[in-house]
Amino acid sequence: MVAIQPARPLPPLRIGVFDSGLGGVSVLRALQRELPGAELIYAADSGHAPYGERDPQHVLARSEALAGHLRREGAELLVMACNTATAVAAAALRAAHPDWPIVGVEPGLKPALAISPSGRIGVMATQATLASPKFRRLLDELLAGAAPGTAIHLQACPGLAAAIEAGEADSPAVRAAVAEHTAPLRAQRVDTVVLGCTHYPFAAGLIAEALGPGVRLIDTAEAVARQARRLAEAQHAARLDAAGPSKLALWSSGEADTLARFVAQRLERPLLPVRRLPV
Do the two domains 14-105+221-276 and 109-218 of this chain adopt the same fold? yes
Question: If one looks up domain 109-218 in CATH, what number appears?
Answer: 3.40.50.1860
118 is in an annotated binding site: no
268: amino acid identity, one letter = E
181: amino acid identity, one letter = H
Q: Residues for the chain: how many in total?
A: 279
198 is in an annotated binding site: yes
Measured between alpha carbons, how far is 200 from 124 in angstroms, rounded to an integer?
8
246: amino acid identity, one letter = S
Q: What is the pLDDT along the chain (279 residues), one digit of tens a residue?
A: 555 555 566 788 999 999 999 999 999 999 999 998 899 999 999 999 889 889 999 999 999 999 999 999 999 999 999 999 999 999 999 999 999 999 999 999 999 999 999 999 999 999 999 999 999 999 999 999 999 999 999 999 999 999 999 878 889 999 999 999 999 999 999 999 999 999 999 999 999 999 999 999 999 999 999 999 999 988 777 777 655 567 899 999 999 999 999 999 999 989 999 999 999
The domain spans of the chain are 14-105+221-276, 109-218
150 is in an annotated binding site: no
Q: How far apart are the first and last CA of the chain?
A: 54
Choose, from 38, 77, 82, 125, the residue flagged as catalytic. Answer: 82
Pick the CATH number of 14-105+221-276 from 3.40.50.1860, 3.40.50.720, 3.40.50.11540, 3.90.180.10: 3.40.50.1860
**Helical segments of 188-220, H only:** 204-211
Q: pTM score, two decimals?
A: 0.92
- What's the pLDDT at 245? 60
157 catalytic per annotation: no
Contact 185, 196 (CB under 8 A): no
Choose, from 124, 197, 207, 277, the residue flagged as catalytic. Answer: 197
20 is in an annotated binding site: yes
